[in-house]
Structure 1
Amino acid sequence: MVLSVIIVNYNVKYFLEQCLLSVYKAGSNIDMEVIVVDNNSTDGSTAYIQRKFPRAVYHVIKENLGFAKACNYGLQLSQGTHILFLNPDTILPEDSLEKCIQFLDTHTDAGALGVRMLDGSGNFLKESKRGKPSLTTTFFKLTGLSSLFPRSTFFAKYYLTNIGEYQTSAVDILPGAFMMIKKNVLDITGSFDEVFFMYGEDIDLSYRIQQAGFENYYLPEVSIIHFKGESTQKESFRYVYTFYNAMSIFVSKHYKGSKGAIYRFMINAAILLRYLLSIINKIISKIIRVIKRLIFPGKQNGLLHTAGPLVLTGSPETIANAESIVKDAGFSVIMPEEETTRTTKQTYTVVYCEGERMSFGQIIKQLDETKPCNAMIYAWGSTSIVGSPGRNKRGETISYPSSSL
């Protein structure tokens, strides 16, 4: 077995559906197995995914054990010489897996590999490549200076701004959203530390891979979509606390003495500061939602960001299916693609329909080049349309009412 793809699912069955459709196309010429570990989802994921993807190994854990434990559970079931830990809210191009495996196999110093990630609107996700946490990089990130000066080689060291977005390079930290690792390397380093419930486990494992003498590579030749924000709202205090608590665990594990004490003090101060900011952000978000409802008083189908008409583009054989889903969900206005040029002042959402004439790779390329404000994706054979308007926004789905059963 060449490749084992391990995906942890928690209440994101429609995103997982699109993800699996892309994974199986990307692995069509690879001796591959797909292992889905379900962290006690309550959205009907088990029956829905098992019915649609009988080839996948699907295991349900009776409680939410967190990302690290679930990944390790999947790893115990795996047989591949290469292991890919993959988030369920991702979409891969058809040639991605072969390129990644070839890169790892031709670079003897490589232990793990990550790729160039885009959010649901085609914007580059800077966490695709990160530097090792240090006192200065942590301070700049916690205080927000790295966000205020994202292109600074001094303030934004955490995101390795000295390494170009399209530059293949060894980096310190790879994201757990897409992390391909040689199995023999994991045999040496061990897998994710289960003390991490969510967040921080990828930083810890990347660090241990380096400590074992291997390199973590960033491969921008491969671009994927990572919708982000689907399972967790980044503005919430729960996210803030969970993330920075994970950082505190990492510091306690790898930094001792006075340096570790300073680190922990900074993190605790950041938790308090970000808590206050999250309250302010929550208030502002509520105001924005009220304004949007006033501007778009029509039926919104529960979607906060998808407004105006839906423009279907892509493979003709799949557009009809996507149109049926849209109409069944209550969206009555669907604009033909050619009409958008005459209504540039009107807000609309582009639905990319994957099929024979528009591949996942072509969709990702179009998102990368055009970066539409509102975009969603429909994959041939699915019963849902998924999207996310930004890295910090919750994911959105349109589906047949019957598909939720």
Structure 2
Amino acid sequence: MSYETSTLPEFSIIIISYNTRDMTLACLSSVYAQTKGDFEIVVLDNASTDGSAEAIRQDFPEVTLVAESVNHGFGPAHHVALPYCRSPWLLLLNPDTVVLDGALDRLMAFRDQRPEAGIWGGRTLYADGRLNPSSCWHRQTPWSLFCRASGLAVIFRNSSFFNVEAYGGWRRDDVRDVDIVTGCLFLISRETWDRLGGFDPVFTMYGEEADLCLRARDIGVRPAITPEATIIHYGGASEKARSDKLVRILRAKAELIKRHFSPSTLRLGLFLLKLWPLSRHLALSVIISLPRMDRFHDTALAWRNVWKRRAEWCDGF
């Protein structure tokens, strides 16, 4: 299908929804209320059972809705949605977000101000206004994995030395190059996306943007974020079971180590990754045996289940 250049929207917003009806509707409302630029929205619904597709079709008929009968997973769903996007600029936005203060227009302006970045992101907050630091991440390293497994990343969470992956202590209040921009607010050109092949479909949920950003850095792209583009991101709205979520995250982290660590550090990286849930399991088992520590029971149970299920995640995909 061909389009006249003059009719193309400046950017295409892609939203992948799965059983987040009310949040998706709120997200769409915020996009239209807070965005002045010329854009289109493509929502791919991953076979939701909560009436998401019907509600979107009724409340936002201007949205291009792709209602699927199967759940493709988060990463692969973008490849299904992509043919419906007409713009040379792709803006990925999670359904459990709320756009604030013209954030998407500001992100497009940031693209113009810092064209060398190649991938652009912003700042995320929790619903109560506290910083949600998950808008960006540092790549995993043997040191960061050791700090996580030993608990140093938690004890010294505000230290950029010990809490490396989360850029500990940084309030996301200035412009910086980062290793990984999170997919909840993620701007990339169609040209760069196509050059990289987009998200690797192996990463069905979690890790897809980390893999893409690390591959992008290998070809000279330098992802960056700006505090000017700020949104609310609730996080984890479509995944409720804690141990299941942790298993998915650990599986993705193991795969990232296999793909992006050097041969000399690969075995060490996988070993240190295994120590993280083991150390949490052992520490929490001790903690809940102490008086008045019942409040940690559910967390201890989750980590125990994750460790018992280690065969599901320790070798990645």
The normalised TM-score by structure 1 is 0.66
**1:256 offset after TM fit, Å?**
4.5
Match of 2:275 in 1: 269
> What is the aligned counterpart of 2:115 among 101, 104, 108?
108
Letter in 1 for 2:114: H
Structure 1 residue 141: Cα displacement: 2.6
Q: Aligned pair 1:284/2:284, yes or no?
A: no
Letter in 1 for 2:249: F
Partner of 1:8: 16
Q: Select which of 71, 81, 103 maps to 1:64.
A: 71
Match of 1:31 in 2: 38
How do 1:208-227 residues align onto structure 2 when only pairs under 5 Å count? Answer: 208-227=215-234
SS in 2 for 1:80: coil
- Structure 2 CA distance, aligned partners of 1:276 and 1:64? 36
Q: Which amino acid aligns with 1:78?
A: C
Give the AA of the match of 1:205: L
Partner amino acid, structure 1, of 2:39: M
Q: CA deviation at 1:77?
A: 2.0
Q: How far 1:212 moved relative to its partner?
A: 1.6
Q: Is the 8 A contact 1:2 1:31 kept in 2?
A: yes
Q: TM-score, normalised by structure 2?
A: 0.83
Tell me the residue number matched to 1:128. Answer: 135
Offset, 1:206:
1.2
8 A contact 1:5–1:85 mirrored in 2: yes
**Structure 1: gaps (5+ residues):** 288-405
Question: In the TM superposition, what whole-angstrom CA distance separates every residue of 1:211-257 from its partner, at most 9, and x where no partner exists?
Answer: 12121111012221001232224x71111111010011111122243
Q: Which residue of 2 aligns with 1:230?
A: 237
**Distance in 2 of aligned mates of 1:286 and 1:16:** 33
Instruction: Say if 1:276 and 1:20 are closer, same or farther in 2 by CA, change over 3 A.
Output: farther
Q: 1:59 Cα deviation (Å)?
A: 1.0
Partner of 1:119: 126
Q: How does 1:277-316 map to 2 (within 5 A)?
A: 284=295
Stretch of structure 1 that moved more, 159-168 or 256-265: 159-168
Tell me: CA distance 1:210–1:152, structure 2 relative to 1, closer, same or farther (3 Å): same
Equivalent pairs, count: 286
Distance in 2 (CA, whole Å) between partners of 1:64 and 1:276 is 36
Per the alignment, residue 304 of structure 2 pairs with none
> Partners in 1 of 2:280 and 2:199 — Cα distance?
27
Matched, 1:205 2:212: yes
Rounded Cα–Cα distance in structure 2 between residues aligned with 1:275 and 1:69:
32
Show CA shifts across 1:16-52 (max 9, x none).
010000111233x322110111111111111111100
Identity between Structure 1 and Structure 2 (%):
30
Change (3 A) 1:45 1:4: same
**Residue ranges of structure 2 left out of the alignment (5+ in a row):** 1-8, 289-293, 299-317
Residue matched to 1:137: 144
Say whether the 8 Å CA contact 1:236–1:278 is kept in structure 2: no
- Which structure would you say has the larger Rg? 1
Native 8 Å contact 1:132 1:172 kept in 2: yes
1:139 deviates by 2.2
Correspondence for 2:57 among 47, 50, 64: 50
Structure 2 residue 242 is matched with structure 1 residue 242: no
The DSSP-based 3-state class of the residue aligned with 1:209 is: helix
Structure-2 residue corresponding to 1:379: none
Partners of 1:127 and 1:6 lie apart in 2 by 19
Give 1:284's aligned amino acid: R
Match of 1:217, as an amino acid?
A: A
**Residues 107 and 228 in structure 2, CA contact (< 8 A), matched pair in contact too:** no
Structure 2 residue matching 1:215: 3-state secondary structure = coil
- What's the counterpart of residue 177 of structure 1? 184
2: distance between equivalents of 1:212 and 1:223? 28
- 1:19 counterpart letter in structure 2: C
Alpha-carbon distance in 1 for matches of 2:281, 2:76: 27
- Give the match for residue 252 of structure 1: 258
Matches within 5 A, 1:309-348: none
Listed one character per residue, the Cα deviations across residues 310-352 of structure 1 (whole Å, up to 9, x for unaligned) are xxxxxxxxxxxxxxxxxxxxxxxxxxxxxxxxxxxxxxxxxxx
The separation in 2 between residues aligned to 1:223 and 1:284, in whole angstroms, is 33
148-157 or 10-19, larger mean C-alpha shift: 148-157
